[in-house]
Chain A
């Protein structure tokens, strides 16, 4: 049973299209994130949600809109895709607290987006 699952794993689309990536975690964590990894492997945080509320929104174009219907899901919608959006997008989750598994990021397998 995958802890953090993302769909789709691969996404190839044309410039100007709109696409979504879905993420679900079954760990009961209260915080979810989207990270972008570019071709040089740099990992940059995009968004963070805690119990469905937006906590952090780094400098990301407003073409990117996260949506968290509940604390187990955090979806990413991208409008008017551009060539520079090509990257691997990782969803992650964590739980604040003092337990052994707390305060650690658990990642999904990633969604590779290619914009042509």
Chain B
């Protein structure tokens, strides 16, 4: 079964510092991979998605993620954190058969002024 693992349930960075949120997937073939963001008391919004077109994927709000097959990773990065980036971030995988999506346990990002 396909799944994703997010390392670090809580990450704190200073404003202006690099953001790195980790996600590893388990799949025998490259799956569809996603990062979603959830702001307090809101639903989830798509940040970016990997669909095998390009290994470096750019998303909204300055975020990007790199698909590394050798490491089975899809880490999310942003060069400079803003206070508005404080939120819960979820990595997700879509199954290759059917149209099912499974989520990691989430990483709460805190940005320190």
Contacts and interface: CB of A to CB of B under 8 A. Distances in A.
A43 B34 contact: no
Interface stretch (A14-22, A61-69, A73-81, A101-109): A101-109
Instruction: For chain B, give the interface size range.
Output: 20 to 34
A96 B5 CA distance: 24
B58 interface: no
Interface in A11-38: 31, 33, 35
B45 to A, nearest CB: 8
B44 A90 contact: yes
Q: Is the interface of B mostly helix, strand, loop or mixed?
A: strand
B106 A55 contact: no
Contacts of A116: none
A94 interface: yes
B46 A105 contact: yes
Majority secondary structure of chain A interface residues (helix, strand, loop or mixed): strand
Contact of A42 (B34, B49, B106): B106
A105 B44 CA distance: 9
B42 interface: yes
A107 B44 contact: yes
Contact of B42 (A56, A96, A109): A109
A82 B45 CA distance: 30
Interface in B44-70: 44-46, 49, 51
Contact of A107 (B43, B88, B106): B43
A40 to B, nearest CB: 8
B43 A43 contact: no
Interface string A79-103: 0000000000010101010000001
A35 B44 CA distance: 11
Given A43-B106, A55-B99, A56-B98, 10 more contacts: A35-B103, A41-B88, A41-B105, A42-B105, A43-B44, A48-B100, A55-B100, A92-B101, A105-B46, A106-B46
Interface of B: 32, 34, 36, 38, 42-46, 49, 51, 88, 90, 92, 94, 98-103, 105-106, 108
